[in-house]
Chains A and B, each alone.
Chain A
Amino acid sequence: MIPPNCHKALILLVVFVLLSPFKSVIAVGMHMNSRDLNVSVQFLPYQESLLKTDFDFLKTLGSWEGLTDLDRKTMDIKVGNAAELDYWLRKRVQFLIPMSLNLELGFYGEVPLRYYPNMAELPPNVENIFTMADEQSNTLMSNIGVGFYLFGKRQRQIISVNLRTHFPKIEPQLPVLGPRIGIIQVHKNSFSHRNRISVSGREPADRLLRLSFLFHEGRHSDGNGSSLGFYHSVCPPGHDYTGRMACDISSNGAYAVAALFLKKSIEVCHSCTEGHKESLKLSYLDSRLRVLDKSILTPEEIERINRYENDMNIYARQLFAAIAQKDDIRRKYLMDKLQEVNAKIHKIKKPQNIPKTYWKSEPETIEYTNGFESI
């Protein structure tokens, strides 16, 4: 006699057999979620809840459409769906801690190391860029993990960090073996009314804004040699932030990543109000403008750009006329033309064949299979 609930077990068995060809996909999915996000117990309950639910919101985000090759190159992604973005962020952001508390640092092992990856190559102006953000600095978020790694690299020591006050179950001495340690400090102002879009701070647009900050910080967990940490550059004369270390000369730096995330997320955020989208658009434009173009152009390049700009003005005028006449075919043709001219200008301003434009994003790591080899 067949037991009464046996049919359920049979159904499960059939489902398992049917899914078996996809078990590699399931395994990848499990691996993708293997790195958990840890939110410090030192956050106020509402802050902790916001940060955790932001990650939950990311999982509900619709797939990005119209992703170009350059977009893929900017973020090292393939399809731009929620699972991929979640994976991207978790690889780079692991520990979220409040900015107000100091961390206990130490050396992991007493002796200096003989070998550190890319020892001869350090990011430019490294002396000026290692500063720990504190409560007074008003930096909304800061990736201090990469700073610890860089500090250790310069000292030829492995730095250890004690995060037990934030995560009681974690091992007391956490070795910083690469920039992807993913320790992000979050300033209390990140939750303040002025840094929200809506009054509650819980609307989809608020979440996208905070997530864009995390994606920005996530990029700082990448890089090797001179690209380590994807540090920012000084903004040129005439820029909104002239003279400040608030720009990127790379096309795949933290500002480019945040800008791409915002632009694509605005397109798929159907629950965002038009009013809230204005704030997100402004945030996108602010980030996008910090991705710098070539600083010096030849007279020939300037002339070509001027010619293309002239074409752009003509196409735009014709486009308005086509829209007024409700001529959709012509409108589409002119829109393509505009984009084509725009791409040509971009190519002159930021040549895509020069490796310096897109920095190496693979993170460097210290291998320690049989203990560290010391000097």
Chain B
Amino acid sequence: MDSNQFKKVQIFIILFFSSLTLYVLFKELKKGQKNLSTSISAPNNPIKKIKSKDTKNVPESSISKDKTVPELQKKVRPRTSLSKQQREVLDQFRKQAEDILTSLPSKQDLQQLEDGQVHKIPAQLLDTGRALGRLKEQVIRYPEFKELQEEAKTYYKNCADEDEFPTSIRSLCLVNRIQLAKDSGEVFDIAPYPLEIKQLILELGPFK
């Protein structure tokens, strides 16, 4: 064998082994790709399992897991739209509250009554009691209806703040305002109210 022939055999051998290596590499690569895609589409995906476990192990955020979706939505963005029924209830409550506030007797009204009428609770105050009773029943009926509760808070505060109203009515409104503040975990300042009213409301035990 001359030197030219020897070189040709050498080149052939190198090319043969290079092709073989490339072929094996290509094969391995293909096999790897196939395994990866199979593992992703498998029904009992171990990666998935790990993922969900990891989510559970994530420390609690400000959003509690126990909360339902609507509750979370409420927390995230304030509710701006009410259902038709809620709107009706709220409108009715507002109207009722407004009517009562405008029809409440003043101190002067009571002082103008006849002697016989002021000996016991005057009919005007009993009218007020019945009206405030109807309002209270609405407040109790919809404890979760935030808009209505807020409306009631405003109403009771306006009623308690008005100097012209009889002290008995103002006191009852303040008792209800305190009750709502207490229920919603709010701090309500009673300092601006007259001492007489503060002492009276304590007798009705609104903080119990």
Q: Which residues of A contact B (CB under 8 A)?
A: 133, 136-142, 189, 194-197, 213, 216, 232, 240-246, 263, 273-289, 305, 309, 312-313, 316-317, 319-321, 323-324, 331, 335, 338-339, 342, 345-346
Roughly how many angstroms separate A127 CA and B127 CA in the complex, as a whole number? 34
A323 touching B182 in the complex, CB below 8 Å, given contacts A288-B200, A313-B190? yes
- Specify which chain A residues have a CB less than 8 angstroms from the CB of B191 in the assembled complex: 313, 316-317
Q: Cβ of A317 and Cβ of B199 under 8 Å apart?
A: no
Residues in A neighbouring B181, C-beta threshold 8 A = 320
A316–B129 CB distance below 8 A:
no
Chain B neighbourhood of A197, CB < 8 A? 126, 129-130, 133
How far apart sit A137 and B111, CA to CA, in the bound complex (Å)?
Answer: 16
Stretch at the interface among B26-34, B47-55, B167-175: B167-175
Please report which residues of chain B, range 123-143, place their CB below 8 angstroms from some CB of chain A when the two chains form the complex: 123, 125-130, 132-134, 136-137, 140
Residues B202 and A244 in contact, CB atoms below 8 Å apart: no
Closest A-chain residue to B111, C-beta based?
A242
Which A residue sits closest to B124, measured CB to CB?
A194
Partner among B110, B187, B208 whose Cβ is within 8 Å of the Cβ of A241: B110
Let me know if A133 and B207 touch, CB within 8 A.
Answer: no
Closest to A99 in B: B116
Query: Which B185-208 residues have C-beta < 8 A from chain A?
Result: 185-191, 195-196, 198-200, 202-204, 207-208
Contacts of A244 in B (CB 8 A): 111, 115, 118
B107 contacts chain A at the CB level, 8 A cutoff? yes
CB under 8 Å from chain A, chain B span 148-170:
166-169
| Given the contacts A274-B140, A289-B167, A263 and B120 also touching, CB distance less than 8 Å | no
Nearest Cβ in chain B — how far from A110, in angstroms?
35
Question: Complex: how many Å from CA A98 to CA B84?
Answer: 52
B128 A138 Cβ-Cβ under 8 A: no
Enumerate chain A residues within 8 angstroms of B129, measured Cβ to Cβ.
197, 278-283
Known contacts A197-B129, A282-B169: A263-B123 contact under CB 8 Å: no
Instruction: Give min CB distance, B143 to chain A, whole Å.
Output: 12
Residues of B within 8 A of A323 (CB): 182, 185, 207
Q: How far is the CA of A112 from the CA of B58 in the complex (A)?
A: 99
Contacts of B188 in A (CB 8 A): 320
Bound-state Cα–Cα, A287 to B115, Å: 16
Determine if B119 is an interface residue (Cβ-Cβ < 8 Å).
yes
Instruction: Other than A241-B111, A274-B140, A316-B190, give 6 A-B pairs with Cβ distance below 8 A.
Output: A195-B123, A197-B126, A246-B119, A288-B200, A313-B190, A342-B199
A246→B172 contact, CB < 8 A: no
Q: Bound state CA distance, A42 and B185, in angstroms?
A: 56
Pairs A–B under 8 Å by Cβ, sample size 28: A137-B116, A141-B120, A195-B123, A197-B126, A240-B167, A241-B111, A242-B107, A245-B115, A263-B204, A274-B133, A274-B137, A275-B130, A276-B133, A279-B132, A281-B172, A281-B175, A282-B121, A282-B129, A282-B169, A288-B203, A289-B196, A309-B195, A313-B191, A316-B198, A320-B188, A321-B187, A324-B185, A342-B199
Give Cα distance in the complex from A312 to B137, angstroms. 30
How far is it, in angstroms, between the C-alpha of A305 and the C-alpha of B194 when the chains are bound? 12
| Min C-beta distance of A340 to chain B, whole Å | 11
Residues of chain B within 8 A (CB-CB) of A339 are: 202
Would A139 and B120 count as touching, CB distance under 8 A?
A: yes
Knowing A278-B136, A286-B125, the reply to whether A139 touches B116 (Cβ < 8 A) is yes
Whether B168 and A279, one on each chain, are in contact in the complex, defined by CB atoms closer than 8 angstroms, is: no
Which residues on the A side are within 8 Å of B128 (C-beta)?
282
Write out the residue numbers on chain B whose beta carbons fall within 8 Å of the beta carbon of A276: 133
Q: Nearest chain-B residue to A341 (Cβ)?
A: B202
User: In the complex, A345→B199 CA distance in Å?
Assistant: 9
Query: Are B186 and A286 in contact, with the CB atoms below 8 A?
Result: no
A232: chain B residues within 8 A (beta carbon) = 119
Interface residues of B in 53-111 (CB under 8 A from A): 107, 110-111
Residues of A within 8 A of B167 (CB): 240, 285, 289
Q: How far is the CB of A194 from chain B (nearest CB, A)?
A: 4
Chain B hits for A305, CB < 8 A: 195
- In the assembled complex, the Cα of A335 lies from the Cα of B140 at a distance in Å of 24
Q: Which residue of A lies closest to B187 (CB)?
A: A320
In the complex, what distance in Å separates the CA atom of A197 from the CA atom of B130? 6
Contacts of A282 in B (CB 8 A): 121, 125-126, 128-129, 132, 168-169, 172
CA distance in complex: A321, B128 (Å): 32
In the bound assembly, the distance between CA atoms of A17 and B34 in angstroms comes to: 101
For the complex, give the distance between the alpha carbons of A175 and B190 in Å: 55
Bound CA span A323–B115, Å: 44
B111 touches A140 (CB 8 A): no
Alpha-carbon distance between A339 and B199 when the two chains are bound, in angstroms = 9
Question: Chain B's nearest CB lies how many Å from the CB of A219?
Answer: 13
With beta carbons under 8 angstroms apart, the residue of A141, A284, A320 that contacts B186 is A320
Residues in B neighbouring A280, C-beta threshold 8 A:
129
Cβ 8 A contact of A317, one of B134, B171, B172, B187: B187
Q: In the bound complex, what is the Cα–Cα distance between A228 and B196 (angstroms)?
A: 29
Chain B residues with CB under 8 A of A246:
115, 118-119
Tell me the minimal C-beta distance from A265 to chain B in angstroms. 13
Given contacts A279-B130, A335-B207, contact A289 B190 (CB under 8 A): no
User: Cβ of B117 < 8 Å from any Cβ of A?
Assistant: yes
Residue B144, interface by CB 8 Å: no
